[in-house]
Chains A and B, each alone.
Chain A
Amino acid sequence: MSYFFLGPALVFLGVLFLVPMVNLLLLGFQGFHHSIFQDTYLVYVIQFTYWQAFVSASLSVLVGFLFAFLIKEWNVFGGKILWKCGLLCSSLPSIIVALGILGSWGKQTTLFGWKGLLLGHVFLNFAIPLRLIGNALSDRERTSELTAQSLGMSRWGVFCNITISSIRPSLVSSWILAFLYSSTSLFIVLFLGGGPRFTTLEVALYEAVKLNLDNGRAIQIALLQAGVGAFLFFFYLKLQKKTNLESDRVDIQFFAPRRAWMKGLGGLCLWGLSFMCLGFPLVSIFVEGLGDWSFLDGAELLEAGLTTFAIATSVVVLSISILYPYLHYLYQVKPQGETSGWIWLIAIPQFFSSLVVALALSVFFPLVREVSWLSYLAVVSTQTLFVIPLIQFPLREGFLRMSKERNWIAQSLGASGWQRWLWVELPFMKRSLFLSALIGFGFSMGEVISILLFSPPGIKTLAMGIFQAMSRYRFQEARATTVVLLVVMISLFGIAGYLEDRDESSAR
């Protein structure tokens, strides 16, 4: 029975991720006589990649922590909106973020180099610490804080000694994720980096695989990245085990400001920082993009929209049809407490760069870059590998909320497995499924790397359209397409945010 539920996910992960990655590993070892470490420039690139990722991740965690604290502890005005915006910001295609930052801050100051990289990475990654730390702050065990305070410890002392240590796993986890995403960022580095001084391994990998067709060099770079990814993944897993502590929740805002003006100042600080880092670039995209729409080619836009829609729909359908039975088995069939290892197994791909995964796939199945329909299939498969870890959260929450008793009652009334699924489980899971579909859809709409790598001849998607328009002297069209994509993504994430709210209130 378990084969039926777990099989599709394990086969998918095994055939399209694990086996190609192992193959890449073996190929990488074969090519080590021309080591990349002999290349002086590449050694500099390796050092810079991880140094900038360290700084970017630290800054993202700092900003995310500040936001999370002000939203969850001080409950400042509009905090909920910013909480939702985070999801949108981290899902925007990095080309849009780069264009927005160039169009806003780029006009005020010279951004290229450190400033541009940090701003871009904070924009894209701050939502990870915001969500993880925010949730850790809400769910933390507060009794020790109350006890310590009643014993005379100052609020600052409680914060430093108890609160920080209780949310430490989420701080470190979010730092790890932000570090990984910053070290594998491609377009932010390409557009805001500013040349060889600010190049990362991902750019070197892109050049090797796409422009020079140098698979040997690409494999070695990919291996290095995969090694760092795997190391951080296991470290991350270790942290997750520590956070699985259940505690009695006490719903009080322990660090709430004592005076109203302090809360106002906090709100001002939050909104000011949000506008500077996030709002200004987004507003500039709208202002520049809404200028003149006559440049927009309706037929091309429609074609791009339909292709984007088709790819995104395929990705969502494939992801859900693989993940749903997998989670159903873990949460409805399997005895509780034996699920964590299985859950993290399907999350592995997110710890690797999509370019590395796509490269592994194309090396193992060379036909995917040669045959047009296989290229589309490879695009959908690669995106699915990265959508599954993302949508597992809303789906898991749905399953966790659903009690097994419902199933047992239905079973005792004589309902078959399919009937129970159709009449008991599915109506309950409907909202989680829809939320997952929206998140998957949003991710796929903005994803460019797999499309760029496999590039089925003649493919047109909205995100690709921005690049294509820019290369034809059609900057206004690129901005207008950006607005279209942005509006669609804001609508999608608006609905996702609304559903998330409904989910939370129904959970209460």
Chain B
Amino acid sequence: MKPVLASALEKCQVLLEALQNKSQQKHLIFWSQLNPDLKNWNETARGYLKSFDLVQKYRDAKEGSPEAFLYSNSVESCVEFSDKYSLEIKKQEFAELGGLIFLSGLLFVVLRWALRRKNQVRFGILLLVSLSFCAQAKAKSEPILRVYSYDALTGRNSFGEFLSKKFFEKHHVKVQFVSFGTAGEAINQVVLEGSKTKADLLMGLDEVMFRKVQKRDLFHELEPSLSEGLVPDLKKSTTRTFIPFDYGFVSFVYDDSRTAFPKKVSLKTFPEILSAQHKVVIQDPRTSSLGIEFLIWTFEKLNDGAKKFWTALNPHILTVSPGWSGAYELFLRKQADFVISYTTSPAYHRIKEKKESIKPLIFEEGHFRQVEGISVLRSSSQKELASRFIQFVLGEEAQSQLPTYQWMYPARKAVVLPREFQDIPIPKQVTVDWDQISSKKDQWIQDWALMLSQDPK
């Protein structure tokens, strides 16, 4: 009895949130001003949503107890209410659509009269415009969960597309990924938009970026239960507002078939092992998250030796690319021997290109671990739905697919990785002091820029 009731309550909760969101749309707000009944329905729905946390407390109550009775009664009344509320909203939408069709038809007749049957093409265009207007009005009424993210997470064959498709199948809620050049740009957009932002979630933020904006109070605090089931190592990176969904280790990647190099090296002596012909392409820490992570790694791990490291590496740097894509392109074009990427990047070449020669360098000192997370925005009106989406992202189904979309390790523990991932050695992780990073990061970037602005010769 209990699981059935619990699932009914969850469904009801999702439905009510979706309907609430729908009713908040401008056109329905306008209609609800005219229809006082709908206004009351909205208020009652808000009351139900507020009481959910209370109702959930009785979920594990013993059968027959007053709490269990209260729980089952609450669920039943909620289901009943949500059905009626849904019907009311549908009626309202229908009336609205009818009104729009009527107005469009009227406009069409008026214009046709005005044009005096001179040009049939014009009538066709007007008809199309009227129809598209109606269609647009209809489309607007569907609930949408908006996720701001970086490019690689959106678009065709991306993890984002997979998530949208599967989430819709399961919950009948559209997930719209809005893409930005980098996750940094996505967070900047949220900062700029402030409380008016349309985003419900931010996906793909790394720890460096998250810690930079953490104090801005942008994010909603999530239930700690959401992060249960994650890889234990990720505990330190997890907060109530930042839930990791994947991670990877920053490293240099090279092609074994054209560059002979020892597989295990020391970060400190890496520039010295490079021969004069070896060229390295790195990412700019001012524009790339991978670039800043590599910089942090060197300054955190090597301390005073970092300046020596960069001075020694400078003559080997072919170019400093603004982002990962440009750098990797140069590596693929065989213009550079080493590129900063992830230890898991070779898996892409193994699976997609059947190429075994791309290898990561494993450093004795350990590697910087990049953790990508997902956060719900405080301004979102669909927080419960957003939490459900996070639950879905961290679920078995999505996490098992993540490696071959993101080419990173899934955050959920006990996910079976593809064979090509299993062959890649998992490096030691360097421990970082985030307080030190926050206070010194800007100075490190400044020092780095000055060092690299010197002529290496």
Contact = CB atoms under 8 A, between A and B. Distances in A.
B452 interface: yes
Interface string A366-398: 100111100000000000000000000000000
A366 B194 CA distance: 12
Nearest to A113: B319
Contacts of B188: 210-211, 213
B26 interface: no
A370 B196 contact: yes
A473 B152 contact: yes
Interface stretch (B9-17, B122-130, B175-183, B395-403): B175-183
Nearest to A299: B156
Among A103, A371, A452, A473, the one with the most B-chain Cβ atoms within 10 Å of its Cβ is A473
Given A107-B333, A475-B332, A197 B152 contact: no
A457 B189 contact: yes
A41 B442 CA distance: 13
Given A195-B452, A196-B449, A106 B335 contact: yes
Contacts of B193: 369-370
Contacts of B320: 194-196
Contact of B148 (A372, A457, A473): A457
Interface stretch (B76-84, B232-240, B323-331): B323-331
B333 A471 contact: no
A470 interface: yes
Interface in A110-134: 110, 112
Contacts of A191: 321-322, 326
A353 B284 CA distance: 23
A107 B336 CA distance: 11
A458 interface: yes
Interface string B420-457: 00000000000000000000000000101110111100
A291 to B, nearest CB: 13
B185 interface: yes
B154 to A, nearest CB: 8
B366 interface: no
Contact of B180 (A44, A369, A455): A455
A110 B278 CA distance: 13
Interface in B209-233: none
B196 A297 contact: no
Contacts of B86: none
Given A207-B286, A370-B192, A370-B196, A475 B179 contact: no
A467 interface: yes
A473 B348 CA distance: 10
A106 B181 CA distance: 25
A468 B184 CA distance: 15
B287 interface: yes
Contact of A207 (B287, B321, B329): B287
Contacts of B150: 471
Contacts of B319: 112, 193-195
Contact of A41 (B180, B328, B453): B453
A444 B324 CA distance: 27
A198 to B, nearest CB: 9
Contacts of B156: 297, 299-300
B151 interface: yes
A211 B287 contact: yes
A193 B155 CA distance: 30
Interface string A198-231: 0100000001001101000000000000000000
Interface residues of A, number: 41
Contacts of A110: 279, 318, 335
Nearest to B191: A213
The prevalent SS among residues of A at the interface is: helix
Contacts of B192: 213, 366, 369-370
Given A197-B455, A210-B188, A472-B155, A190 B448 contact: no
Nearest to B455: A197
Contacts of B279: 110
A475 B332 CA distance: 10
Nearest to A110: B318
A359 B448 CA distance: 27
Among B193, B199, B279, the one with the most A-chain Cβ atoms within 10 Å of its Cβ is B193
Contact of A470 (B148, B184, B325): B325
A408 B333 CA distance: 66
Among A458, A468, A471, the one with the most B-chain Cβ atoms within 10 Å of its Cβ is A471
A370 B329 contact: no
Contacts of A366: 192
Contact of A468 (B155, B189, B317): B155
Contact of A371 (B181, B196, B449): B196
Nearest to A368: B192
B158 interface: yes
A458 B144 CA distance: 14
B172 interface: no
A247 interface: no
Contacts of A207: 286-287
Contacts of B148: 457
B179 A468 contact: yes
B347 to A, nearest CB: 12
Nearest to B194: A370
B335 A458 contact: no
Nearest to B196: A370
Interface in B261-275: none
Nearest to B199: A457
A455 B185 contact: yes
A40 interface: yes
Q: Which 7 A-B pairs have the closest CB atoms?
A: A195-B320, A194-B319, A112-B319, A470-B325, A196-B449, A457-B178, A471-B151
18 contacts: A39-B446, A102-B333, A103-B333, A110-B318, A112-B318, A194-B317, A194-B318, A197-B455, A207-B286, A211-B185, A299-B156, A300-B156, A470-B325, A471-B181, A471-B325, A473-B152, A475-B329, A475-B332
Interface of B: 148, 150-152, 155-156, 158, 176, 178-182, 184-185, 188-189, 191-194, 196, 198-199, 279, 284, 286-287, 317-326, 328-330, 332-333, 335, 348, 446, 448-450, 452-455
Given A194-B319, A471-B150, A472-B155, 10 more contacts: A102-B333, A191-B322, A211-B188, A211-B286, A299-B156, A370-B194, A457-B199, A468-B155, A471-B152, A471-B323
